Amino acid sequence: GPRGGGIAERDGVMHRIDILEGTLAKAFGCLGGYIAASSDIIDAVRSYAPGFIFTTSLPPAICSAATAAIRHLKASSWERERHQDRAARVKAILTAAGLPVMSSDTHIVPLFVGDPERCKRASDILLEEHSIYIQPINYPTVAKGTERLRITPSPYHDDALIDRLAEALVQVWERLELPLREKSLAAE
């Protein structure tokens, strides 16, 4: 959304949401998470949610850092616009290279692999030989036979890094004899 409120803000349905939850560990660069809701819901969560009971509050420095990040990202559109631009560029470059980019309406760029062992191996090769870390996603997170690599570009990935990523992925795909775009469409 225009102020970083996510899909609900983007789609104009914030007024229909009873509970907002999120992480402070990604875009905000901190740790922890939050929920925003009515006082009755918040009280119920404090009293009954297993993930909340017997935990401690975040340190004040982390809360301050999260507050500063939230204030900045609410006012600045550069990061959101650049993030979307980088995701679109990664999708376009990888698709042009013949890699099996699966459809995604988010900034996440999934690459179809279709085999758990080769998915893990692809991730390992990328890290060991190219110093690129990409998370392999296997069952039970996704259905068996739809294993994939999950690429998450950031606003700070420049064109040279994206091009290097594409080159490394093409090498890995060739080495592991992974299917290119034509064979990946069935998994979408």
Catalytic positions are: 26
Q: Which residues of 19-29 are buried (b: 16+ CB within 10 A; e: fewer)?
A: eeeeebeebbe
- DSSP state, 30? S
Residue type, 53: I
127's tokens:
């890290």
Q: Is the peptide bond before 153 cis (omega within 30 degrees of 0)?
A: no
d(CA 111, CA 47): 41
Residue type, 99: L
Apex CA 51: angle with CA 47 and CA 54, to 5°?
Answer: 65
> How many other CB atoms sit within 10 Å of the CB of residue 130?
16
